[in-house]
Chain A
Amino acid sequence: MPEEKPGQSATNNELDRRSFFVKLGLGSLSIATAGTTVFAYQFLSPNVLYEPSPIVNAGKPESYPLDSVTLDVNSGIYIVRSKEGFFSLSAVCTHLGCLTAWKPELGIIACPCHGSKFTRDGKKIEGPAPKPLPWYRVWVSDDGDLMVDRSSPVRSMQFLKV
């Protein structure tokens, strides 16, 4: 058995030159990969969106007849004037985001895509939709216009008296 050189046995427990550089290389590669992932994720998420404002001006309350349901196609909301007062519902189906429609002859809200049905106050009657249609905050602006905030859902059965 050949005698071990004193220098060799000392390096056995320590990092030799080659594995040091391998570790250094792999380490910098993983840092670069993590950095690229974060960079790519941040780049792909837009910081500024030019999407329509969630606050909708629905016009004068008087323009809605009593006991009526009005669909605003562009903003995807219903303005309902019931005997108890005004309220606003999302017209976007809670299933997969299709625009629902008010069926006056049946007195229900129905989704054309997959057949979900809702009552006039958003409660689910049937269909694949998992949740009722949310109610949105409604108020009257200083100019006397009916305003709806689509970004703030409220508990149902909160009517606005005008």
Chain B
Amino acid sequence: MASSATHYFDQLRKTRVWRSIFRGGTGSSTLRRSLAIQQDVFLHLFPTKVRRRMLDISVTWYLGTLTFGTFLILVATGILLMLYYHPSVPQAYADTKDLQFVVSSGLFLRNLHRWSAHAMVFLVFAHMFKVFYRGAYRPPREFNWVIGVILLLITLLLSYTGYLLPWDQLAFWAITVGSNIASAAPVVGDKVHFLLLGGNLVNANALLRFYVLHCMILPLTAIFLIAIHFWRIRKDGGLYVHQSTPAAAGSDVTVKEAR
């Protein structure tokens, strides 16, 4: 049974259609395997070769992958929620209630979006703590750490902008308080507040701006930076696998050996 499935798959890989889509060709030589990674637009971001040790759960706890997983869930559920949500003052709250009580599976999708958002914030922090305490931010990975910090800020901004969209009391006052914090910045604070809200009050303009930020600008920026983040793992020599031992902390010699 299994061997016949493999046989059909091998036959499929020889067809002209398959060969026109996937250029790597058949066979399982090292060259073919590496070409399969290199010639795929998604997989080429990742290393062609991975040491088995890198995939051990103890190395990363898969926290980065899990973060990306929640991001994908958020994109999928978010696009579906957009089909029923109007970012306008008279409709936003009613649409949110409709999603809760009227739309089929609306409650499930909204709750999935909400819980994934909470999980993503948690996982981003967990991922960063793991990277920090293992010392995986050290050269040559220091620029990937910087991208990671920007991605943390984008994650928080996505949470913040998404908070306003239900247009309930909690949302309104949270954004009132949050945007007033922005205006506490020296010199440019009031201007930032005005540009962020598109006015002086949390109003129709603010709702629309937060919607555009939440659904277009911030996710696209995040996808762009995530692509670089993954590609840098490959360019910086794969995932960091060494255990940082307490003895290595004080001594230069041990640190050199560890690298």
Contacts and interface: CB of A to CB of B under 8 A. Distances in A.
A51 B195 contact: no
Contacts of B39: none
Given A96-B176, A96-B177, A98-B173, A46 B200 contact: no
Interface stretch (B14-22, B153-161, B201-209): B201-209
Contacts of A44: 195, 198
Given A46-B205, A50-B204, A96-B180, A113 B173 contact: yes
Interface string B23-50: 0000000000000000000000000000
Interface residues of A, number: 12
B interface, over-half SS: helix
A98 B200 contact: no
B145 interface: no
B82 interface: no
Interface in A94-129: 95-98, 113
B176 A51 contact: no
Contacts of B194: 45
Given A44-B195, A45-B195, A98 B204 contact: no
A49 B173 contact: no
A49 B199 contact: yes
B: contact size bracket: 10 to 19
B181 interface: yes
A137 to B, nearest CB: 19
Interface string B161-179: 0000000000001001101
Contact of A96 (B181, B198, B200, B201): B181
B199 A46 contact: yes
Contacts of B181: 96
Contacts of A98: 173, 176-177
Contacts of A51: 199-201, 203
Contacts of B179: 97
Contacts of A45: 194-195
A97 B177 contact: yes
Interface string A41-56: 1001110011100000
B180 A97 contact: yes
A50 B173 CA distance: 20
Interface string A125-162: 00000000000000000000000000000000000000
A49 B177 contact: no
A103 B179 CA distance: 27
B83 to A, nearest CB: 28
A97 B176 contact: yes
A23 B147 CA distance: 32
| Residue of A51, A96, A97 with highest tally of chain B CB at under 10 A | A97
Contacts of B203: 51
Contacts of B198: 44, 46
A97 B181 CA distance: 9
A44 B199 CA distance: 10
Nearest to B195: A44
B91 to A, nearest CB: 17
Interface string A16-52: 0000000000000000000000000100111001110
Nearest to B205: A46
Contacts of B177: 96-98, 113
Interface of B: 173, 176-177, 179-181, 194-195, 198-201, 203-205
What 7 A-B pairs have minimum CB-CB distances, sorted nearest first? A96-B180, A96-B177, A97-B180, A97-B176, A49-B199, A44-B195, A46-B198
9 contacts: A45-B194, A45-B195, A46-B199, A49-B199, A49-B200, A51-B201, A97-B176, A98-B173, A113-B173
